[in-house]
Amino acid sequence: TTSSSSTTQDDDVLSPLREAAHLLRTTSTPVAFPTETVYGLGADATRSDAVRGIYAAKGRPSDNPLIVHISDLSMLRRLLQPIQTQSESESESKAQADSDPIPVIYHPLITRFWPGPLTILLPLPSNPTSSTPPSPSPSSAPVPAPVLAPEVSAGQPTFGARLPASPLARTLISLVGNPLAAPSANASTRPSPTCAQHVADDLAGRIELVLDGGVCDVGVESTVVDGLCDPPVVLRPGGVGVEELRSCPGWEHVRRGYGGGGESEGGGEKGPRAPGMKYKHYSPRARVVLFEVGGGGAAGWLDQETVEGILGAVKTVGVIRTGKWPFAGGLRTARVEQVGPGKVVNGEEDIGFVVRESSLLGTDGNPTGARVLDVDLGGDIKGVAHGLFAALRELDRLGADVILVEGVSDGDDIAAAVMNRLRKAASDIRA
């Protein structure tokens, strides 16, 4: 019958997810899974040994807290209210609605942006005390509630929570039945992975399973916000823009709590609030040189002399353009051709750009012996965000010694996230 065949199909679709959920429930080896932002490296957020497995696989500093991924709001509410008796949860559901454990400041954000690329900081619930054991009476038997492993918050008084838009991610979390702690699934300091192959490139041999959900839609990580202080603060720019946040009640005066780049950024006067922001990040092996286009883009600003000065004896130059760079006039090249079969990432997945190879000519018009690998991410900022990490990784893979990247105008939208990541990846910034 139709219903039995569709059940069989569901089982086929779900079986990798069931296998992943089984691993997550029974072992301490993390599982990589797709989200709409980047791939995450997940572990049961309630088990210390499992969470420690994430830090080990990534080589992540243990003072950098992890984001807690939930499959629905009730999972989050159970986390925030670890002691809840059956009678309370049944007969006082009205009262519970009036005293939602999720702070009111977040309600407009949750309505507008969840599920989606937004992480909110919440107070870490105090652990249930064993000194007042709940009554053994069945009518008030405690509902088993998840309690976060201390390794998740890494010493912070808060934890970050995110409801991902990816149905695959949410299905996985609900099959596990517990929230998943998950950082981006790259090796520490590398660009975040936006397809399964990126995860394999970094973590092969260190993890057992990568769920392949194709190329991530957004391409940069979630926006991390702290609404527990006044005014609220954006700790990390990401998939939700500051201008979008500002249009929500209570968020009109949201501050930027991240710097322009470099090691010291993180929280302005109050010191680093997103501990991860102080670490070196998003770096390919190649040296990255970022060209920031001031005030709407100066045509022809990247001239041959500048490039030759940067390049020195370099053999392979990667170029990432974002729409304004007059490449043909700026660099003298010959024999433009395409590398690879077209859409390049392992020859298969459509990551949204092609890499073109040419040979670099000197001011005298003769070949310098250097080759140029050119990626154009296009002028649309969403397309730039979507392809940025993959372009950095792809140019690395093709042997670039140095990657010249054209900046975008630093707006209050996803461009802020793009420039934040680029400034961290770059060893030099030229204005």
Region for 209 from its dihedrals, namely left if φ exceeds 0, alpha if ψ lies in -120 to 50, beta otherwise: beta
Within 8 A by CB and 6+ apart from 187, the residues are 58, 59, 202, 203
C-alpha 47/C-alpha 27 separation (Å) is: 10
Restricting to residues 410-429, which ones interact with ligand TXA according to CB under 6 A? none
| Residue 38 binding target from Mg ion, ligand TXA, none, CB below 5 to 8 Å by type | ligand TXA
| Residue 37 binding target from ligand TXA, Mg ion, none, CB below 5 to 8 Å by type | ligand TXA
- When the beta carbons of 81 and 222 are compared against Mg ion, the nearer one is 222
By CB under 6 A, residue 153 contacts ligand TXA: yes
CB 183 within 8 A of CB 35: no
Task: Give the residue, chosen from 119, 178, 358, 368, that forms a contact with ligand TXA under the rule CB under 6 A.
Answer: 119
- Provide the mask over 153-192, with x wherever binding to Mg ion is found by CB under 5 A and - wherever it is not: -------------------------------x--------
Write down the least CB distance from residue 418 to ligand TXA, Å: 14
- When the beta carbons of 46 and 153 are compared against ligand TXA, the nearer one is 153
- Provide the mask over 26-65, with x wherever binding to ligand TXA is found by CB under 6 A and - wherever it is not: ---------x-xx-x-----------------------xx
Task: Give the residue, chosen from 44, 151, 221, 292, that forms a contact with ligand TXA under the rule CB under 6 A.
Answer: 221
| Residue 55 binding target from ligand TXA, Mg ion, none, CB below 5 to 8 Å by type | none
Write down the least CB distance from residue 364 to ligand TXA, Å: 47
CB 359 within 8 A of CB 336: no
Within 8 A by CB and 6+ apart from 28, the residues are 43, 47, 49, 50, 52, 53
Task: Give the residue, chosen from 222, 316, 358, 368, that forms a contact with ligand TXA under the rule CB under 6 A.
Answer: 222
Task: Give the residue, chosen from 146, 183, 219, 232, that forms a contact with ligand TXA under the rule CB under 6 A.
Answer: 183
- Residue 62 has a CB neighbour count (10 Å cut-off) of 11
DSSP per residue over 209-237, as a string? EE----S-SS-S--EEEE-SSSS-EEEE-
Task: Give the residue, chosen from 21, 24, 45, 67, that forms a contact with ligand TXA under the rule CB under 6 A.
Answer: 67
Q: At what angle do helices 2-26 and 167-176 cross, to 10 degrees?
A: 70
Cα–Cα nearest to 31, from 224, 168, 190: 168
DSSP per residue over 95-109, as a string? HHHHT-SS-GGGHHH
DSSP per residue over 107-131, as a string? HHHHHHH-SSSEEEEEEPPPPPPTT
Extract the tokens encoding 6.
């569709």
Write down the least CB distance from residue 255 to ligand TXA, Å: 15
- Count of residues binding ligand TXA (CB under 6 A)? 30
- When the beta carbons of 29 and 158 are compared against ligand TXA, the nearer one is 158
Rounding to the nearest 10 degrees, give the CA dihedral for residues 116, 262, 294, 246.
Answer: 30
Residues at the contact surface with Mg ion, assessed by CB under 5 A: 184
Residues at the contact surface with ligand TXA, assessed by CB under 6 A: 35, 37-38, 40, 64-67, 117, 119, 121, 153, 156, 158-160, 162, 182-184, 221-222, 224, 235-236, 273-277
